[in-house]
Structure 1
């Protein structure tokens, strides 16, 4: 009875707290954000814990919110994940359990985002004056803070995965501390391409009102318009972030039958490793940390120029990466991020390992749009690192596509089942051995040679070795019937099929009769 009373008292206090929160212009709080964080992390199957890790920078103590997920295999190289702009550590909910099957997974809220501290990145104290920070200052801040964070967690060697803005910061970190990173995975990274010289010459930039509005918005931070809207921001944000519904959310209906169907669908999705929420949990999670003090977005404004271009493009600095650093780019085929800089990086570092993958059907949030395909690539990279070798995933995919093309030529039911179970050529039920691949390549070459011989000789040979014994007599009867039919057709003579020697005696004559008509006749000897 007392525990039940305490439970209802907590709900009542939370309700009163939310009622007071609605009186604020921007309804957000760190307490509400922590409650949402616990709700989301409760969907993780693996054992996990979250706490703040304290680091010191510029004489100030910063708290970095860190989520540790214990993997099934101990002793392997841990995976560190850095979120992008407008996201948080829990955005990788649909990836954590699959990735934790091989190794420990560590996620963090970058300083200025989520539940981490929000330092002032707008100005700095220099020579007795407060001056504006620059792109170099912001990059140095994140690089040194991340290095201290790695030291506090005793992470000597890691696989570093960064998405979007997190990919930019992880790339900058590897410019100074490459020895700590065994492999750098950049998921749809921001900040690589150069700003085109003709960016301001686009037709819509000729509109004076649009130019004025763009200049005004260029002076703001990204989430300033949401803060200006105040209490209208949350419902508007839920509408604008409808894309999250397809990734994490299933709408809950009021009827009991619909609720039962929803629970059943959620069970099926969880079996596939996908987590869903019957409300706006993920939308509220993103909204809560966006409405806090402006810190991370201020740092982003320092390293970027309108609109969305990097002030110091990374494609100009990839040559400064250490030659031992292995890099893998993972792009979404439907993303607004251009994959061309990844290919340019591969060309510039042709003597080093750089691999580029484009996942079909995925957008900017490639890890959430196609989680299984994304997880499979990351797992293959991790397996190669644990075996002290380079992944060489592109070569394996080429061999796999070659094997799949061989399977498509076969008519067996087993091959068709393998094709149906395959995930767009990225994942198949079992890995083909080198011997099987070699046999398939050899069979392809033999089949191509036979096709060439058919074109030269004009004769096609069929083998009936696979015909069962009980059907052999029936097959022979059918073949004999076909031969007799062909012989009858040869005996038939027609006017068109007569040889030229016979046709030479054909006589044609045309006579005009009295009625003005013509009469034609021909004779054959």
Structure 2
């Protein structure tokens, strides 16, 4: 536990049993029936399994005591038996007392983000501005504070080549205000000192997460010369501001468009404020979905689109070519039973698993193994009714964390203990604190989920129907002055000013080797993009053919699941650096035409 923990007041009861959750529910007068039902479901999960022990006995163990004494067990057998006899942990490993202590300490998102960023190599003093976009839903605040030059801002931390072999680099944390009421984006940047900014990389996180989850990528990706990195918290998530999320449209298509625009309009406004003409956009999961939506609505500003395990590509669940898991194995339940180290990194045999990691609140699938064309293929099972009910009622997993109050950290530990099980304990603890500090914030952007995705993480407007339009949209007039950041990118824009439509951009789809997201959907998207390029070239002018830059490919990251940027961060960073170098070469090539 980091920092100072305030003593618990006499009125705070340390929960000694899951039954205390009933009194917690009664203490929430505003909770609806659906809300109470949701927390009651988690109450059942939070009841630790009864301790039990199994012994794996060999045939020799069934012999007489004299015979057994002459057949000593191998060391590996003793370890296996000890593991089998060890009590099995409950769904939520964090104890009730520790959960209440964490809830009362209330580590702020700023402090939690700062602690995560402290693990970035060569970043000795992580810059962390203290202006989080919203306050949590209850009043207890942490007494912790960061030792900084100013209470409201963090100056860039500069390192030199003596202690930074890939620098010097400047790191900066900032809250960028946008137009309108309570609209601002949390931003973390890395810039190479003494070099011109030729290219820009913008990184978008997944559903309910924050830019801090990219802590293993900022240093590795900022080694590429001429690049400036921007990590952003999407509007209504992370440490960005959390304005009320409202949808006014009546029809489904209008609701989907309005929900998408809520995020991508904020990204476009941020781009204009930063005077960035063109950039490379990386989006993970829901961030990948929004990256595609941005590319379609705001053409002419992307040099490359990189989608890391994007959500929402398949046409429908049956297009996934896999059997639906049993209801008790799907969605949120699986979130608390899958272990990252055992199920993704290594299994008990030391070999990679080939099933899914399911480490995402959006999960509803295990593996693409069944073939519907085969007569013996297992038919898909429906989404559990309780999940569909909560989903349609727009009750998010984070709502449950907030309603649970002192039990919130315990519920979150069910996810973080498994999601980060392959990391060192201190990093895992920092990420747990960071996740809980974000999950407990006032609900905002998370409520867009039900408008964008149907139960089971399948898009209501699948990207497979739209992705072929990426890089093929009509070009609007230039909206920026020549002062735009990124000289080579601006040269490309100026050289191609006679074009009336986009001439394609490279699209890279990245998946983990054991990703629960639909990899087949990625290959289908690749095929659609290539077919659209062939079609465009058939009617292209000579000028358009000269600037044609469309391409698509799928990359698989080894020993990684859905969070491939974290599970397989070394290979992920290597692949990303290669893509960044390629983008630099392309920009110089087209600027010389």
Give the TM-score normalised by the residue count of structure 1. 0.60
- In structure 2, the partner of 1:93 is 215
Q: How does 1:479-498 map to 2 (within 5 A)?
A: none
1:306 to 455, 474, 491: 455
Q: Deviations over 1:387-429 (max 9, x none)?
A: 22699xxxxxxxxxxxxxxxxxxxxxxxxxxxxxxxxxxxxxx
CA apart distance, 1:296: 1.7
CA apart distance, 1:384: 1.2
1:62 to 183, 201, 209: 183
Q: Deviations over 1:235-269 (max 9, x none)?
A: 2322332234345432xxxxxxxxxxxxxxxxxxx
- Does 2:157 match 1:167? no
- In structure 2, the partner of 1:213 is 386
Q: Is the 8 A contact 1:67 1:106 kept in 2?
A: yes
Q: How does 1:313-332 map to 2 (within 5 A)?
A: 313-323=462-472, 324-332=504-512
- In structure 1, the partner of 2:174 is 51
- In structure 2, the partner of 1:109 is 233
Q: Which moved more, 1:136-145 or 1:231-240?
A: 231-240
Structural RMSD (CA): 3.5
CA apart distance, 1:137: 0.5
Mapped to 2, the partners of 1:95 and 1:248 lie a distance apart of 15
Larger Rg: 1
Q: How does 1:122-201 map to 2 (within 5 A)?
A: 122-124=246-248, 134-196=255-317
1:354 to 529, 541, 552: 552
Shift of the 305–18 alpha-carbon distance from structure 1 to 2, 3 Å rule, reads farther
Q: Which structure's residues are more often helix, by fraction?
A: 1
For residue 48 of structure 1, give the secondary structure of its aligned residue in structure 2: strand
- Does 2:78 match 1:78? no
- In structure 2, the partner of 1:240 is 415
Q: Is the 8 A contact 2:222 2:228 kept in 1?
A: yes
CA apart distance, 1:47: 3.0
For residue 70 of structure 1, give the secondary structure of its aligned residue in structure 2: strand
- In structure 2, the partner of 1:7 is none
- Does 2:510 match 1:387? no
Q: Is the 8 A contact 1:80 1:160 kept in 2?
A: yes
- In structure 2, the partner of 1:41 is 117
For residue 272 of structure 2, give the secondary structure of its aligned residue in structure 1: helix
Q: How many residues align?
A: 348
- In structure 2, the partner of 1:228 is 403
Mapped to 2, the partners of 1:71 and 1:224 lie a distance apart of 40
Give the TM-score normalised by the residue count of structure 2. 0.53
CA apart distance, 1:142: 1.6
Q: Is the 8 A contact 2:324 2:382 kept in 1?
A: no
Q: Deviations over 1:317-370 (max 9, x none)?
A: 012222322100111110100111221122112223001111221100101111
Q: Which has the higher contact order (CA 8 A, sep 6+)?
A: 2
CA apart distance, 1:158: 1.0
CA apart distance, 1:122: 3.3
Q: Which structure's residues are more often strand, by fraction?
A: 1
Mapped to 2, the partners of 1:132 and 1:29 lie a distance apart of 43
For residue 449 of structure 2, give the secondary structure of its aligned residue in structure 1: helix
For residue 64 of structure 1, give the secondary structure of its aligned residue in structure 2: strand
CA apart distance, 1:113: 0.6
Mapped to 1, the partners of 2:107 and 2:557 lie a distance apart of 37
